Amino acid sequence: TQAQYTFITNFIVTFQKLKKKQKINQLILRKNERKYEIVRNQQQKQKVKINKQINHFNQERKTKKQIQQQYKTAFLLQLIFLNKQKITIQTNKLFLQKIKCQI
């Protein structure tokens, strides 16, 4: 009965130690979960920031391409206009030559 008392006492002490360890482990687990959430939130914020930068860069690139396209179009229109003027001048010269020949 002393042996039973010692066994029961040891069992209770061991059980209490295990319970205490379990509580400590739960606290550590919660702490780690909070750390994980903080890191995950930071990563999410960085991801959003990077995506905004990428979108901004892509928008700038699109704008630059549009401006380049507008310059190309304006240049081509000027060339067409100059060619029309050139053709008109040549036609006028031919017309003047015909008139000179007739005179």
Tens of pLDDT, residues 12-60: 999 999 999 999 999 999 999 999 999 999 999 999 999 999 999 999 9
Total residue length of the chain: 103
The CA-atom distances, in angstroms, between 85 and each of 53, 72, 77, 93, 97 are: 48, 20, 12, 12, 18
Distance of CA 99 to the CA centre of its chain: 70
* Position 100 pLDDT exceeds 90: no
pLDDT of residue 103: 66
pLDDT of residue 24: 97
Mean pLDDT over 74-82 rounds to 94
Mean pLDDT over 67-72 rounds to 95
Q: How far apart are CA 52 and CA 41, in angstroms?
A: 16
pLDDT of residue 1: 87
